[in-house]
Amino acid sequence: MRGAFFAAVSLTAVATAFPAGATTLNLLIWESYIDEQILKDFSAETGVEVRQTFYDSGDVRDEVLADPNSNVDVVVTNENGARLYGNRGVIMALDTANVPSLKDYADTWTKRCGGFGVPYFWGTMGILYRSDKINTPPSSWADMMKPAESLRGHIAMYDDHAEAFVAPLALLGKSVNANDNNTLKAAYELMKAQVPYVLTYDYVITSIQSADKGPNIWMALGYSGDQYTLNDKVSSPGLWRYVVPKEGTLSWLDCVSVSARSENKDLALKLVDYISNAKNGARNAIKLNMPTASTAALALLPEDMRSNPEIYAAPEILAKSQFQEELTVQSVQARRRIISSLAQISDAR
């Protein structure tokens, strides 16, 4: 409920001055995950107000999408969510006829969105760490799951039923999409032993903004690119850094999609196309220090960005990365029970 409340109340008007009754599009998205100037420019050109509703976990996003009264027009979801909600009729099918900028994306990317979204940003999961507190960069998931005593009470994990299991499952040498009870039980034992070292199970971008928690987070589970957002939040460039552990990780892709329930589908499609075109795709990537999936946008990026391994993961890292797959209902239920159990153990401390 905490996460759902956060998603519901974090409504921010991006454009500043619109007449009463102006058309509004609601964008469901991670916090700090789009160049807001792009949304302002769209509003200036169209007269359409764009409002962002932030979520801080995939589970919260899915709760909002599943609610028929959520009033979402455009949503950024992961590739698995795009396929799942597309097949359920919750989000629209997209192609070059209704989103012309899709022509700039290779089939290898668009297929991962299942025909229900435009590839947005992509990357990996790994370990974020404060370089002033941790002198030796972590190199293994064991550095997080079996941490040094100095990290007791200084780690931020994540309560999402999919991503929360990446670290323990990769450390165990298992698929991050594991469904069987024995593997999930082994992951739970690692996660339970880690509890005394965990300060919070809130997503680090959210928890870093807490006055009591933020300064005490020294290591966190997160996504590539989060280090730039964290450094911006704490106004300290280079403080937070990111590594992918040697055991491998999750290779993720986010997709931007249009809700089938939107009452302004044509405008929502126009917004998706505007965000996804080459010019704005490049602007967005540069602003957020994130890798674009658009071939045309990639060509507009400076060479030092295209060759930066912190932005574009090295081939040897991608070779050991796994894609996200749909989990069984039983697996999702078991994973959520585990997360609930960890929260209870943590609260009891």
Tens digits of per-residue pLDDT, 56-101? Answer: 888 899 999 989 899 999 999 999 999 999 999 999 999 999 999 9
What backbone torsions phi and psi does residue 136 show, to the nearest 5 degrees? -100, 115
Tens digits of per-residue pLDDT, 261-306? Answer: 999 999 999 999 999 999 999 999 999 999 999 999 999 999 999 9
Q: Which residues contact 10 (CB under 8 A, 6 or more apart)?
A: 31, 52, 53, 54
Confidence of residue 336 (pLDDT cuts 50, 70, 90): very high
pLDDT of residue 22: 66
Tens digits of per-residue pLDDT, 208-240? Answer: 999 999 999 999 999 999 999 999 999 999 999
Residue 3 has pLDDT above 70, yes or no: no
Residue 337 has pLDDT above 70, yes or no: yes
pLDDT of residue 21: 56
3 state DSSP class of 56: coil
pLDDT of residue 12: 37
pLDDT of residue 309: 87
Of the options 3.40.50.970, 3.30.2010.10, 3.40.50.720, 3.40.190.10, the CATH number for the domain spanning 2-122+252-313: 3.40.190.10
Pairing of strands 24-30, 11-13: unpaired
| Average pLDDT along the chain | 92
Of the options 3.40.640.10, 3.40.50.460, 3.40.190.10, 3.40.50.10700, the CATH number for the domain spanning 123-250+322-348: 3.40.190.10
Burial class, 69, CB count within 10 angstroms (exposed 0-12 / middle 13-18 / buried 19+): exposed
Q: Where in the chain is the domain with CATH 3.40.190.10?
A: 2-122+252-313, 123-250+322-348
Q: Structure pTM?
A: 0.88
Q: Which two structure tokens, joined as six digits, stand for 101?
A: 């900028």
Provide mean pLDDT across the span 306-321.
90
3 state DSSP class of 201: coil
Tens digits of per-residue pLDDT, 15-60? Answer: 334 444 569 999 999 999 999 999 999 999 999 999 999 998 888 9
